[in-house]
Amino acid sequence: MSIAAMTAVLLIAALHVLILVMEMFLWTAPRVRAVFGTTPELADATRVMAGNQGLYNGFLAAGLVWGAVAPDPVGFQASVFFLVCVAVAGLYGAATANRRIVFVQTVPALVALALVWAAH
């Protein structure tokens, strides 16, 4: 994997670690509520659900790190699989929650995917 592709995959992983932290540990904090557009009441009522979502984002991050550091063909295959998962999750989130998710999740994942494919 090229340095550019590996860097892109690791940046997407870092994004998902950030999302994990926000959803699992900071969900009710004012800044995180502003990011996700929730009220204090909604954040409190959805704390457990958000924590679960955060855990899944952690799994995406772990898979992306695995793909970035594993030798080929496993590194390539894992990177492609987890980047596609991120892109699909972003499309679903954009369709059901907030359209800007496509720019935060899907577009970066597709750029990273293109870099991974180009380096293969």
Whole-angstrom Cα distance, residue 41 to residue 56? 23
Alpha-carbon distance of 23 to 64, in angstroms, equals 19
Residue whose C-alpha is closest to residue 64's, from 17, 100, 118, 111: 17
Express each pLDDT in 45-59 by its tens digit. Answer: 999 999 999 999 999
Q: Which domain covers residue 98, as residue numbers?
A: 3-119
- Tokens 């870092």 locate to 14
Q: How many domains does the chain have?
A: 1
Angle formed by the axes of helices 3-25 and 47-69, nearest 10°: 160
How many CB atoms are located within 10 Å of the residue 52 CB? 13
Using a pLDDT cut of 70, give the percent of the chain over it.
100
pLDDT grade for 89, boundaries at 50, 70 and 90: very high
pLDDT band with cut points at 50, 70 and 90 for residue 115: very high
